[in-house]
Every structure is written in structure tokens, then in C-alpha cells.
Chain A
Amino acid sequence: MVRRLGYALATGVLGFTVVLTGCSEKNEAVDNQPAENKGAVEQNESLTAATDAYKTYVIEQTDLFVQSTEQFVDAVKTGDVKKAQELYAPTRMFYERIEPIAESFGDLDPNLDAREGDVDDKEWRGFHRIEKSLWIDQQTAGQEGYADQLLSDSKLLRALVETVEVSPDVLISGAVGLLNEVSSSKVVGEEERYSHTDLYDFAANVEGAEKIFELLKPELEKKDAALASDIKGKFEELDKDLSQYKVGDGYMIYTDLKQEQTKKLSQLIDALAEPLSQMGTVLEA
């Protein structure tokens, strides 16, 4: 979980408390404006099509996220530990695919996705709180309240994504942001400390980034065909490496990977993210 507030929000959402309490009064809810708007662009039609399509994708994923969360929460509340464990990682994938957008709603991301120690223990809730109980204590007792909150938070997310304004620079930084998420927490196995299902998140972040790349590809090919093909090749290499850890519909437990395997994955992410960060070239006049 990384707090990233680089996304435009519709004004209707601004009343929402953002990220952290205790901000000074000068602290504005969302600090999303670059000091110099170097990226100001005249949006062409192809880019508009890309941002529209992305918004549709985000809404789709969030719908699936809410549905899956309902089943997960149901398993937790009926005390079905095994089923809850099975649903945990696949449910999170819907969230991880659109993580940079989900993170633009202030406190909502920590509420859903904070790891132990990211926030004060008394404020800690969401997936990882329940994860700890499911894997460390192997039980659901005491988690009912967190389960209810999780479901209502996921529904709040669904309502809020409607209001997101997706601009091309949001798309580009979002793609890199997804890979940064992988670099910072998944590749080191710090995201899923108890379930070790980090590879699910890993794959979902990459899928989210790939989606953005696919949407921008037509425009990128016009500007820099070599870059587009470089990125495509790097995605293929990474997908191929990742596929060897697939087990059924899911992935191996992260702690079963050897050090040289995690290192290889990390290096493939870095190799992909570097050219991906050059996609800003489509915004050049």
C-alpha cells in the first residue's frame, strides 16, 4: 500500500476526509496539482478514447471487486475459514488492478489495504487485518465488524470511481505507479505478510499496467513505434516469467520462490518500468 494522491477528483468528492488526520488547516484535501503544468496538453481524440475506455475498465473491475468482496465477507461472517482463505487473494486482484485510482480517495485506501504498522493499530482495518486472523489465528472470530466495514468501504469505492476524472497523464503515471507498487511491496513479499499470496497482487498490478499500455498503444505507435514495441516485448518477457509460478487459477506461495527467482522478477519489473515511464512522450505537443 502506498499513498498516492496524484489523481484528479471531481469536486463532489472533496468533502471526504483525505488520507491522514491531523493535517494542518492549510492542508488541502487533495494535493493533486503540479506546480507547473508542464503536462498541459490538448487532448486529441485518440487519447480521449483511451481515457474513456480506461474509466469503463475501472468501473468494471470495481463492480467485480464488490461482488467478490461480498462473497469473501460472507465466508468470514459465517466462519468458513477455508473458503475465506480461498477467496482472499482473487478478490484483492480486482482492487490491485486499479490500485492507483483506488488510492486517490484519501482514507479509503488505508481503510481497505493498510498493512499492520501503516496506521495506528486502533485504526487498522481492511483486508490485511482479516488476513492476519485467517492465516495466523486460523479463525474468523472477532472479524465480523472488520468484514462489514470492508464491504461498505468497497461499495464506497464503487460509488467514488464514478467521479474520477481520468486524464492522459493520470493514465501514464498510473501505469508506472502499478509497477512501482510491485517493486516496493510485492517483490519483497511485504504486502501479504501472513498469507504470502503476493504473486496474485503482483500479477494484478502488472495486468492493470498492461491494460493502460494497450489503451495508449495506438497513440504511442504514432509517436514512437520503437518504444511501443520495446514495452510490448518487456511485458511478454515478464508475463512469461510470471506464468511459471501459476498453479491452477492462482499462483504459488511467495515464500516458496527462491531468492534468484524473486530477484529475476524484480529485475524484469525494473526493465519494463523504465521504458513504460517514457510513455509521457505521447503528451508532447
Chain B
Amino acid sequence: MSDTQNDKQQGKTETKLSRREVLKMAGVGGVSLLLGSVVGGSVLEGSGLTSALTGSSDTKKAGGSQASIPFYDTVQAGIVTPSQDFLCFASFDLVVNRIEDVRKLFREWTEAAAQMAAGQPVGEESSNAFLPPKDTGEAAGLLPARTTITFGVGPSFFDERLGLQAKRPASFKVLPKFPGDSLLEEWCGGDIGVQVCANDLQVAFHAIRNLTRIARGKAVLRWMQEGFQRTGAANPAGETPRNLLGFKDGTGNPNVNDRELMNSHVWVQPSDGPSWMENGSYMVTRRIRMRIEVWDRSSLQDQETTFGRHRASGAPLGEQGEFDPLALDKKDENGKLAIPAMSHVRLSHGDGSVKILRRSYSYSSGMDLKSGQFDAGLFFVSYQRNIATQFVPLQERLAKQDKLNEYIVHVGSAVFACFPGAKKGGYIGEGLLS
């Protein structure tokens, strides 16, 4: 998960929206409701902190847990943007094979995404009551809720259908099979991946729903996953979120505000090629089911040696503070490594040279009908400059040795090449498709 230290909520905000902005955000129909709320001072609470530091001055204005994050930028929002409370992720398969159709889809998606990120309804409503409304309506009157919509394309996008084989970046391909993988077809792959994050689940769902609607006849849903984490409201201090195993997750994430660090580990650089991916990033998603029933009957000692951290504080074993450095060589009184050799934190860290930006969410998708147990876990999302040199070696290490493997199983897997941001008037993926 992203470094939530940057997303601290600070009670009442100083951010003020102009009436015009409010009107724009509210769209048709929700105006009076929204204005009422604003006058009452109850809606626009949140941080006054600058948080979405994507390097452009526009985004620096974004503040408040319900504010808008500009869609048009040099990079796509939703990557180094501090994690919002909720996720709706959708993977799509194309059902057309003419590149003009795909171009048209991405143009329409871009316009709709920009509108929804701004809290506006999709499209202009017609006055003809005999037509179905353009926007599906469930987000009418709702604030933008820091919605980000991030688009990427999978390796299958580059097969013979569109004739884009030559444009696929050499290192971008389906992940190798890792030991212990129990992948289910229904949670894998896809021609296009869309990550929607927002501080309101209804707003996030609205975005996926409208994008899916726009895609009808051009692309269809392949799989979809909702995710959550503790909300900013429930954790005003903005501490590192906990996963469903009860441990803090994301402590060691690189600082998203460090542009240089992001350039070395997250954003595709000109020297990496191809040019259409410059300022883009490669995304990995893994649906990781947690055997939470099994975990819950493991002793605290087993749980802590599995992670290599203390459950309560999040500190590395033998240390006091969550952010204390990992003392990998430290031995306990019995001469054993304080942070066990097969612990998750040690193996994830490796020699410390390879970093990825994690942006995962917990998921709970009801019950496994076969066992009556929870189908719950982590919808892992990471961004990196190169999957083959960053995620793959890391996951190989974990898949082979991680003690946590006793409690988790990877059931879904996908990779997407996430484009650079779009300019106003342009569209997402323009560099690849034009």
C-alpha cells in the first residue's frame, strides 16, 4: 500500500470550493442538496494537506478527502497518488479488432474519466425524456471523492488482432508461473485493466459501471474486484493500514513524494523505451486469498515470526518502532536471527536494491461455497518501471521460501502497461494507438 504518511487527515479543511466549482461538480439535480451540505459545513472535511504530488502543479492544489484530483496530467493519477479508501478494479477483453474502434473507445473513456474524476456526470444530458439518461445517476450530487481512474493494457493487447505486435515492450509479458500458484482463469489476465480508486465506494463503482457501459460492443468485463482499507475517517492519524491478517502492510513502501525515487523505481524513463510508455508505469495485480480461518488459530508467536514484525507496533522483531530499520544481522539471545530467515519482511526486503510501489487493497468477496470459509484476502497491486527486473525476482523469492505461503494462496494474476497521462484534448494511450 502506498505511504499513507502523506495522506493524513487534518480535521476541518481550509479548502473552499467556488460556487461555480460546486455547480460543476454537482451536475444536474444534485445542486441544492450539495449546497445545503456545504453551508452546514459537513461535507468538505478532510485534509488541507497537499497529497497527490505527481509532479504537476495542478495536482498540488488537490486537497480534502472528497476533493477532485485532475485527470489530465503528465502521468496518470492513481499510481503515486496516496491510496484512497476504496478500489474498484476491472479487467476488460476487447471484442473488436479494428484499431479505429479501440481508438474511439479510449477517446470516449478519456472524456468520461476526466468528467468523473471532476465529480461531473458523464456526457451532456438530453432533454428528450424518451432516451435513457447518459449517466447512470448513482453518483449524482456526490463529491469527487478523490477519484482516480488509471488505464493500462495487458500483453494480449499486442497480439495479432490489432496488429500492434511490434509495439509491445520486450520485457512486458505474462508473469511466469511461480511455485505454489493456484491461478484461476476467472481472476487472470485481460486486454485492458482499469483501476478506479475513490474515497467513496459508490463513486468508484459508478465509474467502473459507466466505463463498462461506454465499452459495450467494443470491450466486455473479464473480471472485477472491489477492495477496501480502513478509511481516513476511521483513522484520522493516517497510520499504515493493516491487512486482514492484522498486520501493518506498506511500512517499507518507497516515499511517493520523492520524485527521484519514483523515477528510478516506478516511472518508465526515456532510456527504457518504448516512447509511448515514457512517464507510464507497469502494473502487477495478484489476487491473494488469505486462509484467515487458519491464521486465526495460529499463535501470536507463529504470526509474528511469519511476518518478522510485531503485530501491535509493526516494528521489526526485536525493535520498538514501526519505522526502525530492519536489523537483518541481529541475533537474539539464542544466537538465532531476530528476523527469521523465512519471514515475509526479510524475503521481501532482499538486499534492499529492488523496490516496487505497492498499492494494494483488502478484499472480501463473500464465501467459498465449497468450504464455507471466507473468500477474503489481499488484492495486491504494484507499480514498477520494469516487471521482469523488479516484481519477478521478488515474487520468485517469496513464492519459494516465504513462511507466509502457509496462509495465503495466489489465485489471480495480471499485468498491465499503464500509459503516461493524457493532455486535455488528447486521449489515454494516444502514443500507442495513433
Contacts and interface: CB of A to CB of B under 8 A. Distances in A.
Whether chain B is bound by chain A comes out as yes
Interface of A: 2-6, 19-20, 22-24, 26-28, 31, 33-39, 117-120, 173, 176, 180, 183-184, 187-190, 259, 262-264, 266-267, 270, 273-274, 276-277, 280
Interface string B328-344: 11001010111111110
B180 to A, nearest CB: 6
B7 interface: no
B135 interface: no
A284 to B, nearest CB: 12
A191 to B, nearest CB: 12
Given A28-B336, A183-B291, 7 more contacts: A26-B337, A34-B304, A176-B298, A183-B373, A266-B370, A270-B293, A270-B373
A118 B180 contact: yes
Nearest to A278: B297
13 contacts: A26-B337, A31-B305, A31-B403, A33-B340, A34-B302, A35-B301, A35-B340, A38-B301, A184-B294, A259-B370, A266-B370, A273-B297, A280-B299
Nearest to B299: A280
Given A188-B371, A263-B369, A263-B370, A35 B332 contact: yes
Contacts of A31: 305, 336-337, 340-343, 403
Contacts of A6: 302
Contacts of A20: 400-401
Contact of B293 (A183, A262, A263): A183
A5 B406 CA distance: 10
Contact of A117 (B181, B301, B318): B181
Contacts of A34: 301-302, 304-305
Nearest to A1: B180
A19 B401 contact: yes
Contacts of B400: 20, 22
A270 B300 CA distance: 18
Interface of B: 177, 179-182, 291, 293-294, 296-302, 304-305, 317-318, 328-329, 332, 334, 336-343, 350-351, 368-373, 397, 400-401, 403, 405-406, 409
B369 A259 contact: yes
B369 A117 contact: no
Chain A CB within 10 Å, residue with most, of B177, B180, B304? B180
A168 B334 CA distance: 19
Interface of B is mostly: loop
Contacts of B368: 188
Given A39-B301, A180-B294, A262-B370, A28 B337 contact: yes
A273 B293 CA distance: 9
A95 to B, nearest CB: 18
Chain A CB within 10 Å, residue with most, of B332, B334, B373? B373
B180 A117 contact: yes
A5 B403 contact: yes
A24 B349 CA distance: 12
B341 A23 contact: yes
A274 B297 contact: yes
A277 B298 contact: yes
Chain B CB within 10 Å, residue with most, of A4, A39, A119, A180? A180
A15 B351 CA distance: 25
Chain A CB within 10 Å, residue with most, of B305, B338, B339, B343? B305
A198 to B, nearest CB: 12
B95 to A, nearest CB: 32
A213 to B, nearest CB: 14
Contacts of B181: 117
A35 B317 contact: yes
Nearest to A103: B406
Contacts of A28: 336-337, 341
The 4 closest A-B pairs by CB, nearest first: A277-B297, A33-B336, A266-B371, A35-B317
Contact of B301 (A36, A263, A266): A36
A35 B370 contact: no
Contacts of A266: 370-373
Contacts of B409: 184
Contact of B305 (A23, A35, A267, A274): A35
B105 to A, nearest CB: 36
B179 A119 contact: yes
A173 B370 contact: no
A120 B371 contact: no
B298 to A, nearest CB: 7
B353 to A, nearest CB: 13
Contacts of B318: 35
A26 B372 contact: no
Contacts of A36: 301, 304, 317
